[in-house]
Structure 1
Amino acid sequence: MRSRLLALAAGTFAIGVDAFVTAGLVAPVARDLDVSPSAAGQLVTVFALSYAVLSPVLAAATARFSRRPVLLAALALFVLGNVATALAPSYPLVLATRVVAAAGASMYTPNAAAVAAALAPPERRGRAMAAVMAGLTVANAIGVPLGTWVGGALGWRATLWLVAGLGAAALAGVALVVPDLRLPVPDGLRRRFAPLADRRVAAMLGLIMLLFAGFYALYTYLGPVLAPATGGDGGRLAVALWVFGTVSIGANLVGGRLADGLHPDRVRIGALAAFAVVVALVPLVRDDYAVTLLWAAVFGVPSWLQYATHLRLLVELAPGATPLLMGLNASAQYVGMGLGGALGGIALGAWGPASLGWPAAALVLGALAVTVATRRPRVPEPVPVSRGS
């Protein structure tokens, strides 16, 4: 079981590096392709929106196939897309190759989460999904700083070659240890998409979209946001990203245990409220490097604490539609990433990097409002009744 989850997590690690590393490569990409930092940041937007559109489409198209061939095809497409990005000579071609990489990523991550949920017993489902999603947090802790350093030392294209190599290694691991299994699929497209009629599903997808939009409105442009503290030095930025990612690993794993133990609303409401406060503090933490590192550590906690709870709730809403729900959830995440990258770029150009904490906080508060409005009512404990003789 552990080796299977590790193999699946290796794939999410490669995809996480690819999705997150742009935050540390905005400046070198802009210089090399002769575009503005805002335009370079739109590489995240194109990847995210492509992922968002393709994820549910590919989930429906591959629903009847066994999962292992789907996972292998997804990783192969992901590797091909990153090789093409590394070789692309112009900004338009770089954008086009990001679509190819996003197609592979959009097919892999939802299926990896669905397979983890299927492999685990119900009482450990949250921890199993958190273990696979740990690939994303490890990407933040190790892969993104490494990729940022490689991009600064050898050029941003070298980072894409690194990502392609990570994807190829994950493909080999999945081929070796992940079993070939089929997940239950309702007959007919109408029945497959029936969960969309559930208001609870729609609310959860809206919540995760707003949360990711708030996160990426800030995260995409962390380089310029933290420039007063880092002095524009790539090494100091890489350390801040490493601190953020390292703490995120622990937060994600703790979140898996919380998903299997606490009432979901306690986890989600507390985490989202804390996250809104953390991102709103940006104007106060960007001038001193020690304060910046402390903020980077806290920045990694709230969103990951609630993520496994979110995934478990989705699976429990419609167990027979897990691949589709994971695909729709990933789609909502990447719509949020694209929306956040676009709004962050607008705010960056209009008001400067110090302003980005405010739109990020507003979006996270929107996610909190959705959670509060749709929280699940507590079922009262039955009151023991004594029977008279």
Structure 2
Amino acid sequence: MSRPPLPAALWALLAGNFVIGTGVMLVAGTLNEISGSFGVSVAAAGQVMTAGALVVCFGAPLLAALVAGWDRRALLALTMVWYAVCNVAASLMPSYIGLLLTRMLTMLAPAIFTAQAAASVGMLVPADQRGRGVTFVFLGWSMASVLGLPLGAWLGGHYGWRTAFVAIAVAALFSAATIWWTMPTGIRPAALTRAAWARVFKSPALMGVLTVTALQSTGQFVVFAYFAPLLKMQLGADATAQSFMWGWFGACGLVGNLLVSRYIDRIGAGRAALVTTVLMATSLLLWPLGVTFVVFALVLLPWGLGCFAANSAQQARLVGMAPAMAPGSVALNSSGMFIGQAIGAATGGWLLAHDAASWMHWVGFGTMLAAMVLSIAVDRLPRPE
């Protein structure tokens, strides 16, 4: 029996996540160019990601409370306009500090968009399609990795990182228009009261899931944040070769997210989260074997399959555990994801700056093992009431 088609608004939200995801990952894809443009080290340039991630970490739950009563059509469209304006401003910055500060303002958009788009799904599809709907919308991030990031890295490598930032701004304006045209009015997920927020923070199951997200993200970004310079150091990859590898990684990510989207309602979000974490840990364990382009691509295969699918599973896990608390828990999931990015990028930068690049994948692998153990434990806890 065929499933009913998803509403057009979910396609617009998917496209919005594509633009958001491409912009978030663009710094990693153009790290060499940003470093050269301002005459700072790669490790220092990587702290642009750390600063932006911290904004999302603390901003997502605060902004979720601030915008609780907003119509989601207006909120999500205006968020994309903000993203466009800030990316243009970032492209005009004459100094590293200017870029750092502007990037922090830019990241207010991801702090709002991904979490609130996921929380809106519950009001756009029936209850039995929530898992499918949430993972479908998050496919935008996978598509960003397979299309947006490689293209952005290629633009940055050949025409400068500023051109890549402007391209994101143009795409954000188109996304804003699409959301405005397709999203129905009156989508207002119920605002969480202080008591509801307290239930989220007091729930061992929900907080356990959020901690798993933070550990997954930390383990990845110890290495992922410095993917471009590591490729250059280990394989001598130029901008074109790096774009190809980004594209391969993203293609694997798209396949992984499609598979999770298709089967998550059958196998359960908790099991899907565990499987994707195991896949990512496998690549980090095998990382030293990537001494040629072909072998390196094979090493990246499991990581790509698990990378974006893992967060899709985590979001669906939270929505399924407590649908009424989804606006808060999904916003906190963004916090977990981005605090992991901040910790991972800072840790990887420290290791890189201290000539300890060979330890980066081991730190990531150990963190993934902790995420696996905790994920198993969370599934044994009672669900929040």
Structures share fold, TM-score greater than 0.5: yes
1:344 aligns to 2:332 (yes or no): no
Report the equivalent of 1:323.
327
1:51/1:105 contact within 8 Å kept = yes
1:299 is displaced (CA, Å) by: 2.0
- Amino acid in structure 2 at the alignment position of 1:316: G
Contact 2:204/2:381, CA 8 A, preserved across alignment: no
Q: 1:76, 1:334 → 2: CA distance?
A: 22
> How far apart are the structure 1 equivalents of 2:67 and 2:170?
25
Indicate yes or no: 2:167 matched with 1:154: no
Q: Which amino acid aligns with 1:344?
A: G
Partner of 1:214: 219
Instruction: Point out where structure 2 has 5 or more consecutive residues left out of the alignment.
Output: 1-5
Instruction: Please say if residues 214 and 340 of structure 2, whose CA atoms lie closer than 8 Å, have aligned partners that are also in contact.
Output: yes
CA distance in 2, matches of 1:332, 1:178: 28
Structure 2 CA distance, aligned partners of 1:148 and 1:252?
22
Picking from 176, 179, 182, the partner of 1:174 is 179
CA distance in 2, matches of 1:127, 1:264: 11
Tell me by how many angstroms 1:174 deviates.
0.3
Give TM-score scaled by structure 2 length: 0.93
Aligned pairs (5 A) from 1:237-386: 237-285=242-290, 287-376=291-380
Q: Give me the whole-angstrom Cα distance separating, in 2, the residues matched to 1:233 and 1:208.
A: 32
How many angstroms apart in 1 are the aligned matches of 2:309 and 2:90? 33
What is the distance in 2 between the residues matched to 1:60 and 1:117? Answer: 18
Give the TM-score taking structure 1 as reference length: 0.92
Equivalent residue number for residue 223 of structure 1 = 228
1:115-140 alpha-carbon deviations (Å, 9 max, x no partner): 22321222221121111111111110
Asked if residue 64 in structure 1 is aligned to residue 69 in structure 2, the reply is: yes
CA-to-aligned-CA distance 1:305-331 (integer Å, 9 cap, x gap): 443332222112222222222111111
Checking the alignment, whether the CA contact within 8 Å between 2:289 and 2:296 is kept in structure 1 is no
Partner of residue 383, structure 1:
none
1:52 and 1:332 in contact (8 A); partners too: yes
User: What CA deviation, in whole Å up to 9, does each residue of 1:42-95 have, x standing for no partner?
Assistant: 111111111111110010011112211111221121112111110111011101
Match of 1:135 in 2: 140
**In structure 2, what residue type is equivalent to 1:74?**
T
- When structure 1 is superposed on structure 2, of 275-284 and 182-191 the one drifting more is 182-191
Q: Distance in 1 between matches of 2:167 and 2:334?
A: 24
Distance 1:2 1:221 in 2: 38
Q: 1:377 to 1:102 in 2, by over 3 A?
A: closer
- Cα distance in 1 for partners of 2:182, 2:270 equals 36
Closer/same/farther in 2, CA of residues 250 and 117 from structure 1, 3 Å limit: farther
Contact 1:252 1:305 (C-alpha < 8 Å) held by counterparts: yes
Per the alignment, residue 43 of structure 2 pairs with 38
Please report how far the alpha carbon of residue 273 of structure 1 lies from its aligned counterpart in structure 2 after TM superposition: 2.4
Query: Does the aligned pair in 2 maintain the 1:126–1:257 contact within 8 Å?
Result: no
- Asked if structure 1 preserves the Cα contact closer than 8 Å seen for 2:69 and 2:191, the reply is no
Distance 1:202 1:83 in 2: 37
Q: Which amino acid aligns with 2:29?
A: G
CA offset at residue 237 of structure 1?
Answer: 0.7
Displacement of 1:261 in angstroms is: 0.6
1:126 matched residue in structure 2: 131
What is the distance in 1 between the residues matched to 2:273 and 2:302? 17
- Extract unaligned runs of 5+ from structure 1: 379-389
The alpha carbon displacement at 1:344 in A equals 0.8
1:362 positional shift: 1.2
Over the matched positions of the two proteins, sequence identity in percent amounts to: 28
What residue identity is the alignment partner of 1:242?
A: G
In structure 2, C-alpha distance between the alignment counterparts of 1:322 and 1:149, rounded to whole Å = 37
- Is the Cα contact below 8 Å between 1:255 and 1:304 reproduced in 2? no
The 5 Å alignment of 1:185-200 reads 185=190, 188-200=193-205
Over the residues paired in the alignment, what is the CA RMSD in angstroms?
1.8
Q: Which shifted more, 178-187 or 322-331?
A: 178-187
CA distance in 2, matches of 1:145, 1:159: 11
- Between the two proteins, the alignment pairs up a number of residues equal to 377
